[in-house]
């Protein structure tokens, strides 16, 4: 008799436990790629209440792309399925008399965006060292716009330009100035005038040779300043003219 009563008691406890556990609902499903139909692992799955969007449950898919979230009380919820690189999936569902909600297969589509054209602009350094000279790129220097060659030279280290336009290198005025690797008629007498007339926007770079080798014939000079002009520079000419006269009717003139 005691065994019979004990059996009935255990049966009642089991039924009550099952009924208690049955009060909570379950949602399940499987997440796959919409194109390849392959299962997606570690996809975030969250369940929130519809009323105030508060988080109730959360988890991730397993190796088979499946998920099971339990412990849901009766009510209306929203399930959110999200994965990096894919469009999020949302669906409203209700837990009531039907305690198990099966979403079956959830297909996630790739979230691809067409980006606008991206322009990458690189700017080279304004100064660089070569074997026997220092090169200063001035074609992108804003300060050279609207100025002259003398203004550009005055902004280069180790080069000084005084108020009269005379150029010196490291304090020595005995310097040779070239244009495109040639003397081009520049001398101590007309150099200041020519540099003042030369537009800075036509200059591409300036080479400073402080220790010229024998191939430059540097005897008696403190160094060489080589002004390299742009290939597509605006057409124009520069030069200098001199004229003189005296009270006795004599005159002279020169043009370079």
pLDDT in tens, 207-223: 888 887 777 666 667 78
Same-domain check for residues 137 and 104: no
The answer to whether the CB of 72 falls within 8 A of the CB of 24 is yes
Chain centre distance of CA 99: 53
Cα three-residue angle 161-162-164, rounded to 5 degrees: 115
Same-domain check for residues 177 and 218: yes
Residue 99, domain CATH: 2.60.40.10
Query: What is the pLDDT, as a whole number, of residue 218?
Result: 63
Same-domain check for residues 169 and 220: yes
The whole domain housing 83 covers 24-108
Asked whether residue 213 is assigned to any structural domain, the reply reads yes
Q: How many domains does the chain have?
A: 2
Query: What is the pLDDT, as a whole number, of residue 234?
Result: 54
Which parts of the chain are beta strand (E)? 25-33, 44-49, 55-60, 66-72, 75-82, 89-95, 100-108, 127-129, 134-137, 159-161, 167-169, 176-179, 203-209, 224-229, 241-245, 251-255
pLDDT in tens, 86-101: 999 999 999 987 688 9
| DSSP symbol at 189 | T
Same-domain check for residues 192 and 101: no
Tokens representing 245? 């006269």
Q: How confident is the model at residue 156 (pLDDT cuts 50, 70, 90)?
A: confident
Asked whether residue 3 is assigned to any structural domain, the reply reads no
Same-domain check for residues 136 and 67: no
Asked whether residue 19 is assigned to any structural domain, the reply reads no
Asked whether residue 252 is assigned to any structural domain, the reply reads no
Is this structure's pTM higher than 0.75?
Answer: no
Query: What is the pLDDT, as a whole number, of residue 182?
Result: 82
Same-domain check for residues 165 and 218: yes
């Amino acid at each position: 008799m005691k065994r019979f009563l004990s059996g009935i008691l255990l049966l009642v406890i089991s039924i009550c436990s099952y009924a208690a556990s049955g009060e909570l609902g379950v949602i399940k499903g499987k997440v796959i790629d919409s194109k390849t139909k392959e299962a997606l692992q570690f996809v975030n799955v969250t369940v929130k209440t519809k009323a105030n969007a508060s988080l109730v449950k959360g988890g991730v898919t397993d190796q088979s792309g499946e998920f099971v979230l339990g412990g849901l009380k009766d009510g209306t919820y929203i399930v959110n399925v999200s994965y990096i690189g894919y469009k999020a999936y949302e669906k409203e569902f209700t837990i009531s008399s039907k305690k198990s909600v099966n979403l079956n297969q959830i297909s996630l589509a790739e979230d691809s965006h067409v980006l606008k054209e991206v322009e990458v602009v690189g700017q080279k350094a304004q100064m660089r060292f070569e074997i026997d000279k220092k090169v200063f790129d001035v074609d992108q220097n804003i300060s050279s716009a609207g100025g002259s060659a003398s203004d550009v030279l005055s902004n280069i280290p180790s080069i000084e330009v005084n108020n009269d336009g005379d150029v010196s290198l490291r304090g020595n005025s005995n310097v040779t100035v070239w244009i495109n690797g040639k003397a081009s008629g520049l001398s101590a007498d007309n150099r200041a005038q020519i540099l003042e007339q030369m537009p800075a926007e036509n200059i591409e770079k300036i080479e400073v040779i402080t220790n010229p080798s024998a191939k430059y014939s540097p005897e008696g000079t403190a160094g060489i300043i080589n002004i390299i002009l742009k290939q597509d520079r605006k057409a124009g000419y520069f030069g200098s003219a001199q004229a003189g006269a005296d009270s006795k009717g004599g005159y002279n003139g020169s043009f370079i």
